[in-house]
Chain A
C-alpha cells in the first residue's frame, strides 16, 4: 500500500470524526431497521433483503468523504498535506482509495449490526428471515455502494472546498437535478434514495440498480473533481477531437437511418468481443441496420478490429505509465460514452459484458442487449447485467445463478451451445499455418497456451504449466507449438530449449492452429472453447472457478481438466475423429433484435 494511502488512513483513525460518524450511522440505521422489523407484518424475503439493503449509512459516508477533503481547507491543513505530497493527482488518488476503504469499513459495521439485530427481531416475531448466502450478497452490495460513496465524497470535497456547502449543494441541487433529468439514476442518491427506501419498504422492482447508478455518479463527479484540482492531469480537448472528425459521417448515417433499419451501437472493449460480435454485426448490416462501433484501447482490441476491417470510434484512451492516470482514464470512459451516444438516434445497444455501454445506454434510455458467457465474472459484469434490458447467456449457465445479479426470467434469454460455435461458423482454417511454423505434421501436433498470469511460473507458482512443457518437449513423437502471451513467457519457454517445442515468434492465427492440431492444452477459456467447438481434443489447466459453460463441456467430455501431465493422451487425430459443432449466428441476431419491443 502506498505511504500516502497509509497516511490518509492514519489521519482518519486519529480524529474522532470517524467514530462519531459510525455511531450516528449505526444509531439511525438501527432505529429504522429496528422499528421496521418490529412493526411490519407479512414480510416477504425480498422485503427483508430490501430492509438490509436500505443503506442509511450512505449520507454519513458521503459526509466522511467530503469532510476528509474539504476539511483540509477548513482546518487549513491542506498546506502541510501538499508539502507532504506535492503531486496532487497522487494525493487525490490516495484520498479516494482511503475513503473508499473507510466507507466500506463503516458500512461493514452498520450492515452487520442491522442484520444481526433485524434478524433477531424478525425471528422472535416469527417473521420471514433470509439465509446467510442472501445476507452475504446484500452485505457485498452495501460495501461496494459505501466504497463508492466514500470516494464520491472526496470528489465533491475537492470541487467544493467548504464541506457544509458541499453537502448542501449535493442534496439541494445535484440530487434533485438528477431526479428530474434522469430519474432512474437520481432516485438512488443517498439523500432522497435512502429516505425513499425508508418510507416504502416495498421494493419497486428496480432497486437492483443502486450500485451501477452510484458508479456512474462517481465516474462523472470524480472525474470532474480530479480535473478541477489539477488541470494538467488530463487533456480533455484532444479526446473529443476524434469524435469531432466523425461529424460528417454521423450526419450521413443519420440521414440513412431515416429510410432503413435500426440504428445500432456496438461497444467492443476486449479482443474477444471482436470475435463474437463480428459475424453478428455483418448480419445486422446485411439486414439493413445501421451499426456504429465504439472501441476501447485495451490489449489488441483495436488491432483486431482493424484486421477485420471494422470501422470504429475509439473512446477512452490508454492510461499511460502511471497507475493513477489509468484509473482516471478508466473512470472517464463512461461519461465519454454517454456523450458519444447522445443525440445519435440509437435504438439498440449491444455489448459483450461492457459495463460502460450498459451505463451509458441506460442513462440515455437506449434498450441494451448484453451478452455474457461466464457467470462468476467481475463486478463490472454484474453492473452490466443489472442495467441491461436483455441479458443473453448460453443455456448451459443455470438461470438460478443469474438471479442474484438481478437477472430474472423477464430479461434472461439463453441460446444453445457455445458462443464459439456461432462465431466460428464461417471459419475456414489456413492450411499453411503449420508449415510456416515448421511443424512436422507426422508427429502429434499439440498447441499449448500458458496461463495469463505472467509470473505464474516463478515464485509461488503453479508448477503444472512447466510440467506440461517438459512432458511434451521431451517426447520425440510430439511437436508442441507454444503461444506465449507475453515476451517474458516467450523468453522463458525458449530458455528451456526443449527439443520438441516450437515457440511462436509473433501473433499467429491461433484459430487455424487449433483447428488443425491433434490436441490443445490451454489455460485460456476462449481457446478451450474454440477447440471444443472445432472438435479438437482439449485439456484445460484453468485454475479459477469454472463457469456453467465449462462445466457442461467437462460433463459431456468435450473438455478435460488436467491436473497431472502424465494423464495427457498423445495421439494423432484420425479422419472423422472430432467433428466441429457449428451453429448459425442468425439465432443470436434474432435474440438481440428482440430487445427492442
Chain B
C-alpha cells in the first residue's frame, strides 16, 4: 500500500475542470516531485488530499484513509501549503505550541523543530517581523512537529533564497532517507530535479507522466554535460569528431548524449585543461515542456 494514493481524482470548480481523472502513488522512502505549470491542478490535488476541498469524484488518501479519517492527522501527515499564514501577532514558538497542544504532541517537540529549521534565535519574535524565508521555515517546523510519516509540501521553495533552497533540498532528502514519503510540488523543474527520485507531471488537470525522473523526463537524448575548457574550440572540435552534438552557451559548451566521465576522458586524450565539468539535465526542460505544453 502506497503512502499516498490518488485514484481517479476529479475536481470541478463551477465549469472549470481543475483536476480530471488523476491517479498516482507516492512511495515511502522516496521524494516525489509533483510538477506542472501554474494552474495545472497541483494545489487542488494537494488540497483534496488534505481534506480542504471535497473531490467531485475519486479519492485522495493516505494508504486508503482520507485525511479526516486519520486518528491523529498531524502525527501522520505534515503539510506546508502555498498560502501558509500565521497570526502576525503571535510568536513562532507560540504558534507551534498551539499546534502541539491541538495535536497532543509533547511540548519539547516545539524547541526541537525550531532548532531543526534554524529558528531557535527567532523563536520569541512575532511572526509579523519575519522574512518570507523565515515564514517558510516556520511552516516546515509546523509540518515536522508530529514527526509524520508523510510530508506534503506545496511549492516549498517559493520565496526562499539560494541557501534556503539548498537547505530545503537537504531536509527533503534527509526525510526520505529516513523512510518517509515526501511529495513536493513545484512549477520549476530545475528546483526539484536535483533532489527528487520520482516525478509526477500534470498539465491541465491530467497526468502527463509518472515514474523515475530519468524515465519520465530523460527522453531519448540521454545524458548531457556542460563543460568549460581553456581551449574551448579544440575541445568542441574533438567532441564533434567523435559524433557528439555540441552547443555553446557563450561561456561553456553543452554536449548532448554524453556523461561527464566520457567528456573528461576525451579532454584527457586531447590534453585540454578543463575549467568546469558538470552533468546537465538540459533535455529535462525540453521534455517537460513537451509533456506539459501540448494542449495549452
Interface residues of chain A, those whose CB is within 8 Å of chain B, are 3-4, 6-7, 10-11, 14-17, 71, 75-77, 79-80, 82-87
Complex: how many Å from CA A87 to CA B68? 7
Interface centre among A71, A80, A85, A86 (most CB of B within 10 A): A80
For the complex of A and B, the 10 pairs showing the least CB-CB separation, nearest first, are A7-B102, A76-B85, A86-B68, A14-B94, A7-B101, A84-B102, A15-B89, A86-B51, A75-B87, A6-B101
Complex: how many Å from CA A3 to CA B105? 10
B103 & A84 in contact (Cβ 8 Å cutoff): yes
Interface centre among A3, A4, A71, A87 (most CB of B within 10 A): A3
Complex: how many Å from CA A244 to CA B135? 55
Given contacts A17-B89, A84-B103, A86-B68, contact A79 B98 (CB under 8 A): no
Is B11 among interface residues, defined by CB-CB distance under 8 A? no
Query: How many residues of chain B have a CB within 8 Å of chain A?
Result: 29
Q: Inside 8 A of B202's CB, which chain A residues have their CB? A: none
A4 & B102 in contact (Cβ 8 Å cutoff): yes
Residue of A nearest to B87 (CB): A75
Q: Inside 8 A of B97's CB, which chain A residues have their CB? A: 10, 14
Q: Inside 8 A of A71's CB, which chain B residues have their CB? A: 87
Residue of A nearest to B79 (CB): A83
Given contacts A11-B98, A14-B90, contact A77 B52 (CB under 8 A): no
Q: Inside 8 A of B86's CB, which chain A residues have their CB? A: 75, 77, 80
Given contacts A79-B81, A79-B83, contact A84 B94 (CB under 8 A): no
Q: Inside 8 A of A84's CB, which chain B residues have their CB? A: 73-74, 99, 102-103
B102 & A85 in contact (Cβ 8 Å cutoff): yes
Is B222 among interface residues, defined by CB-CB distance under 8 A? no
Q: Inside 8 A of A7's CB, which chain B residues have their CB? A: 98-99, 101-102
B52 & A79 in contact (Cβ 8 Å cutoff): yes
Chain A's nearest CB lies how many Å from the CB of B141? 12
B85 & A86 in contact (Cβ 8 Å cutoff): no
Sample 16 A-B pairs with CB under 8 A, ordered by A number: A3-B101, A6-B102, A7-B98, A11-B87, A14-B95, A75-B85, A77-B87, A80-B86, A82-B51, A83-B50, A83-B52, A83-B73, A83-B74, A84-B74, A86-B67, A87-B68
Interface centre among A75, A77, A84 (most CB of B within 10 A): A84
Q: Inside 8 A of B83's CB, which chain A residues have their CB? A: 76, 79
Further contacts, 18 of them, CB under 8 A, given A3-B104, A75-B88, A77-B85 = A3-B102, A6-B101, A11-B90, A14-B90, A14-B95, A15-B87, A17-B89, A77-B87, A79-B81, A80-B84, A80-B99, A80-B142, A82-B52, A83-B50, A83-B73, A84-B102, A85-B102, A86-B73
Is B186 among interface residues, defined by CB-CB distance under 8 A? no
Complex: how many Å from CA A84 to CA B67? 10
Complex: how many Å from CA A80 to CA B70? 16
A-B Cβ contacts below 8 A, count:
68
Residue-wise, chain B 45-84 has the 8 Å CB interface mask toward A (1 for contact) of: 0000011100000000000000110100110000101011
Complex: how many Å from CA A7 to CA B83? 22
Chain B's nearest CB lies how many Å from the CB of A126? 46
Complex: how many Å from CA A288 to CA B86? 67
Complex: how many Å from CA A10 to CA B85? 18
Q: Inside 8 A of B85's CB, which chain A residues have their CB? A: 75-77, 79-80
Is B157 among interface residues, defined by CB-CB distance under 8 A? no
Q: Inside 8 A of A75's CB, which chain B residues have their CB? A: 85-88
Complex: how many Å from CA A237 to CA B68? 26
Complex: how many Å from CA A213 to CA B70? 41
Chain A's nearest CB lies how many Å from the CB of B42? 16
Is B91 among interface residues, defined by CB-CB distance under 8 A? yes
Complex: how many Å from CA A14 to CA B91? 8
Complex: how many Å from CA A236 to CA B102? 31
Given contacts A79-B81, A80-B142, contact A10 B101 (CB under 8 A): yes
Given contacts A85-B102, A86-B68, contact A15 B90 (CB under 8 A): yes
Residue of B nearest to A17 (CB): B89
Complex: how many Å from CA A176 to CA B50? 42
Residue of B nearest to A76 (CB): B85
Q: Inside 8 A of A6's CB, which chain B residues have their CB? A: 101-102
Given contacts A79-B85, A84-B73, contact A10 B98 (CB under 8 A): yes
Complex: how many Å from CA A4 to CA B73? 13
Residue of A nearest to B143 (CB): A83
Chain B's nearest CB lies how many Å from the CB of A231? 11
Chain A's nearest CB lies how many Å from the CB of B175? 18
Q: Inside 8 A of B68's CB, which chain A residues have their CB? A: 86-87
Residue of A nearest to B83 (CB): A76
Q: Inside 8 A of A82's CB, which chain B residues have their CB? A: 51-52
Complex: how many Å from CA A290 to CA B175? 74
Complex: how many Å from CA A303 to CA B94? 52
Complex: how many Å from CA A459 to CA B68? 36
Residue of B nearest to A85 (CB): B102
Complex: how many Å from CA A37 to CA B73? 55
Quick one: which of B197-247 are within 8 Å of A by CB? none
Complex: how many Å from CA A77 to CA B127? 13
Chain A's nearest CB lies how many Å from the CB of B54? 10
Residue of A nearest to B94 (CB): A14
Residue of B nearest to A75 (CB): B87
Complex: how many Å from CA A580 to CA B139? 75
Chain A's nearest CB lies how many Å from the CB of B125? 13
Residue of B nearest to A4 (CB): B102
Q: Inside 8 A of A80's CB, which chain B residues have their CB? A: 84-86, 99, 142
Complex: how many Å from CA A6 to CA B102? 7
Complex: how many Å from CA A74 to CA B84? 13
Chain B's nearest CB lies how many Å from the CB of A311? 43
Q: Inside 8 A of A85's CB, which chain B residues have their CB? A: 102
